[in-house]
Amino acid sequence: MSEAGSRSGPNVLLSLAENPDSEPVQSAWIGPILALGTRLARRADDFSGRQLIIAISVPSREYAAALVGTGWTLGRAPVQTTIDPLTVLRGALPRAHYRAVNATHVISGPFQGLDETRPPARVTLAGHWAVDRMEGVAPVAEGDPAEKMPRPTIGSIGRLTGVDRDWVRRLVAPAADLAIVGTKSWISDDLEAVLARGDDPDGDALATLLLPRTEKSATWFSRIYSSSGFADQLPLPDDVSLTILDGQGAIRYLNDVLSPIVVCVFDRSVADESAAEQVMQLRNSRGEPIALSTQLGWAPPAGVEALGFTVAL
């Protein structure tokens, strides 16, 4: 069971529904696949200096990469900086990019001025906003694709994992260090699924938990790349900590991916052994095997096999 799950009793299974309108299905493989991502997020620094490569094989690729990625984003702490709006904005540099969250929106843009001449203080940041309505503000290194988006809300999984307690901080200052490479439209379909604890009626869309960067993002937790055009987009940004290679087509790029952690998700329903051979060759020639059960504290559920090793970067 996931670390998150074990906190609320070992017998509660996670459920997944194809979309908000379909019936949730509780099953024993969902929690452990999510938990792999969470374990990795918490042990990310244990293997520093070497690249950690995890290979898991699943009966079909569906949801596996999205769940590992979700576990990772849930387990990654946001940036520990002050997000008190007035404090941050008083020290803000002109034209530097900031994100802000109020009750309904996430706002992102270059800082253009703070007006405290009469209360309430107002800030110009992709529009004019009342500072006392803001719940959090943080600087962002690079501008976001959109100036404004509806504020994502969190339910069942937020309570289960405790991310509801620092959700505002996560929205303005996320770790944002996850990349998923695979068949983009399949991953997009996967992200419509709704994850919940047991019978909770307020499950969370994987798209909310993973918050992929799109044209409409004013904040984001992850980046998704299509493996068909991936060769032309290399190298990956340096700030990626975990790359999930979803399926054999993506795993072929393993040698080009230099992030500290890589998870390869093998789809056993696809008859293509060459990507597996490539990974096994890397393991056997340059890898130092690690025991997932003892060193990561994680064991695969039935129907899933997994191995891990590290290589010098």
Compare residues 28 and 130 and give the one whose CB is closer to another protein.
28
Q: Is 198 in the site for another protein (CB under 8 A)?
A: no
Reported as half-sphere exposure (CB side, CA atoms, 13 A), residue 163 has a value of 28
Q: Which of 77, 86, 154, 276 binds another protein (CB under 8 A)?
A: 276
Residues 157, 122 contacting (CB under 8 angstroms): no
Report 19-38 residues binding another protein (CB under 8 A). 22-23, 25, 27, 29
Contacts of range 244-247, beta carbons closer than 8 Å, 24 or more positions apart: 244/65, 244/68, 244/69, 244/178, 244/179, 244/180, 244/181, 244/182, 245/181, 245/182, 246/61, 246/64, 246/65, 246/180, 246/181, 246/182, 246/183, 246/187, 247/61, 247/65, 247/182, 247/183
Q: Compute the least distance from the CB of residue 182 to another protein, in Å.
A: 9
Q: What is the rounded end-to-end Cα distance, in angstroms, of the chain?
A: 32
Burial class (CB in 10 A: 0-12, 13-18, 19+), 129: buried
Report 125-164 residues binding another protein (CB under 8 A). none
Choices 40-48, 50-58, 89-97, 204-212 (CB under 8 A): range interacting with another protein: 50-58
Q: Which of 184, 202, 217, 295 binds another protein (CB under 8 A)?
A: 184
Number of residues that bind another protein (CB under 8 A): 67
Tokens of 113: 């001025």
Q: Which of 69, 109, 252, 263 binds another protein (CB under 8 A)?
A: 252
Q: Which of 6, 87, 153, 269 binds another protein (CB under 8 A)?
A: 269
Q: Compute the least distance from the CB of residue 125 to another protein, in Å.
A: 33
> Which residue is associated with the tokens 């590290």?
310
H or E stretch including 90? helix 85-90
Compare residues 177 and 267 and give the one whose CB is closer to another protein.
267
Q: Compute the least distance from the CB of residue 299 to another protein, in Å.
A: 7
Q: Compute the least distance from the CB of residue 279 to another protein, in Å.
A: 7
Q: Is 295 helix (H, G, I), strand (E, B) or coil?
A: helix
By C-alpha distance, which of 195, 249, 275 is closest to 33?
195
Q: Is 57 in the site for another protein (CB under 8 A)?
A: yes
List interacting residues with another protein (CB under 8 A).
16-18, 22-23, 25, 27, 29, 55, 57-60, 62-63, 183-186, 193, 226-232, 234-235, 248-249, 252, 255-256, 258, 266-280, 283, 286, 289, 291-293, 299-307, 312-313
